[in-house]
Amino acid sequence: MALSALSAGSALWGNFEEIDTMPTGGSVDTIVTSLLNKLTIVQNQVGYVQFNILSFDELLKTASRCKKPLTKEEIAFIESIFYGDPRKYGFFGERTVPQLTVVTPKKDVVYVDKTGHFLMKGAATEKYAQIKRLIGKDLVLTSGVRLPVKQLLLFVKKIANAGGDLRVASNSIAPPGFTFHSVGDFDIGKVGLGQYNFTEKFQETDVFKKLHDGGYIAIRYTANNIFGVRYEPWHIKVTGGFETA
Ligand SMILES: [Zn+2]
């Protein structure tokens, strides 16, 4: 599929990535609300697929083109989240991306047909192919490469859903700069399970059992891990990090 065609639709895939709930009200900061709004506008503009690998500079340019330029305060907020120490709100994961402005060339990623997601060329695509051979048509890639801008959107959504509470938000999603999705990890699920792929229900599926029993997967965040991240049996570790299971 040509990349230009990929940027067309956006509603096709988003539902299967995260449990999408609307903010429940309460004390969500105006910066969070306006950032969520602007990031969503840019995602609609560039398309769901391309947004996964959009760089920060492209975000700024596209937002301006959409007449929704990011304010100084919004950029300062993003920088404080990206470069700040997330341990102060209970997230103890490792930094994976040193610079907010990181660019991942298109030649370094592979689009996985019909999924809405990219994988990093090399170890990630090899691991995915291995898993795909074992599971076959029941396997779905639910999330692949996410650069800091995409991770920022997911994180800001969680903050909004958590009524502005960074501690609650970072328990279920890593802040931008701290996700292994930026460097190769990916999420998998069982076809037809939809949003339940992001719950412990996934662990009860034959897909998970086959992979686990076969020793094909190493879980990045095991139950009761010390990093303050929820247990994620759907997350496939590809590179780096110091936790194996
Ligand atoms: Zn993941």
- What is the tens place of the pLDDT at every residue in 182-215? 999 999 999 999 999 988 899 899 999 998 887 7
Six token digits for residue 111: 């689009």
The confidence score (pLDDT) of residue 86 equals 95
Residues contacting residue 59 through CB under 8 Å, at least 6 positions apart: 39, 42, 70, 149
* Å from CA of 36 to ligand 1 middle: 21
Q: How many CB atoms lie within 10 A of CB 88?
A: 9
pTM: 0.85
**Phi-psi category of residue 70: left, alpha or beta, with phi > 0 → left and psi -120 to 50 → alpha:** beta
* Å from CA of 71 to ligand 1 middle: 30
* Å from CA of 168 to ligand 1 middle: 17
Residues contacting residue 239 through CB under 8 Å, at least 6 positions apart: 123, 124, 180, 183, 184, 185
> What whole-number distance in Å separates Cα of residue 180 and Cα of residue 205?
24
- Which one, of 82, 226, 141, 228, lies nearest residue 245 by Cα? 226
Tell me if 60 sits within 8 A of 188, measured CB to CB: no
80-137 pLDDT, tens digit per residue, is 999 999 999 999 989 999 999 999 999 999 999 999 999 999 999 999 999 999 999 9
* Å from CA of 221 to ligand 1 middle: 9
Quick check: 2 pLDDT over 50? no
In the structure, ligand 1 is a single-atom ion and the residues with CB under 5 Å from it are: 187, 235
Q: Hunting for tokens 């190769």 — which residue is that? A: 184
Per domain, the residue ranges of the chain are: 27-236
* Å from CA of 65 to ligand 1 middle: 31
Could you confirm whether domain 27-236 is CATH 2.40.50.140? no
The confidence score (pLDDT) of residue 16 equals 52
Q: Please, which pLDDT band fits residue 28 given cuts at 50, 70 and 90?
A: low
For 39, list phi and psi in degrees, rounded to 5: -65, -35
The predicted model gives 26-43 an average pLDDT of 90
Q: Please, which pLDDT band fits residue 17 given cuts at 50, 70 and 90?
A: low
Tell me if 238 sits within 8 A of 126, measured CB to CB: no
* Å from CA of 5 to ligand 1 middle: 26
The confidence score (pLDDT) of residue 230 equals 74
47-73 pLDDT, tens digit per residue, is 999 999 999 999 999 999 999 999 999
Six token digits for residue 166: 């960074």
Quick check: 3 pLDDT over 60? no
Residues belonging to the chain: 245
How far CA 47 is from CA of 8, 87, 231, in Å, comes to 6, 33, 30
